[in-house]
Amino acid sequence: MADFAVNAGELRTLITFQQPTIVKDPGGAQKETYANVPTNPTVRAKWVNDHGDESVTSDAGKSIQRATVTIRHRSDVLETWQVLKGGEAWKILSVDPVQGRNRWVVLRVERVKGTV
């Protein structure tokens, strides 16, 4: 199996991990929102947007864009988290600890714009 290699210089994009949390609105009702994870929320990543027919789907005012994000290994990333890139939220679809070698983690993320 070929070794998965990423040059440190490719980690050019700053991303921030956020986890779901429950807050109360002024009326006392609970609602889910996202807050930065407590440990090392902002990291450098290699960000590659998907291209081709599957990258953006347009349907009734909704578009979906996906990307592949590579970060240095961390064992705490969950699929319930989201990633902030440039102030925009991207949902984590999958977390892959590449080859189980504790060096890199590859995330599949997506952003939905418009009405869902």
Classify burial at 94, counting beta carbons within 10 Å of its beta carbon; exposed 0-12, middle 13-18, buried 19 or more: exposed
The pTM score is 0.84
**Sequence-distant contacts of 86-93: CB under 8 A, at least 24 apart:** 89/18, 89/34, 93/66
**Domains of the chain, with CATH numbers?**
9-114 (2.40.10.270)
84 contact partners, CB below 8 Å, separation of at least 6: 15, 16, 17, 18, 90
In tens digits, the chain (116 residues) has pLDDT values of 567 788 889 999 999 999 999 999 888 899 999 999 999 999 999 999 998 554 455 556 678 899 999 999 999 999 999 999 999 999 999 999 988 888 999 999 999 887 65
Q: Cα 73 from chain centroid?
A: 14
List the one residue out of 4, 3, 116 whose CA is nearest residue 60.
116
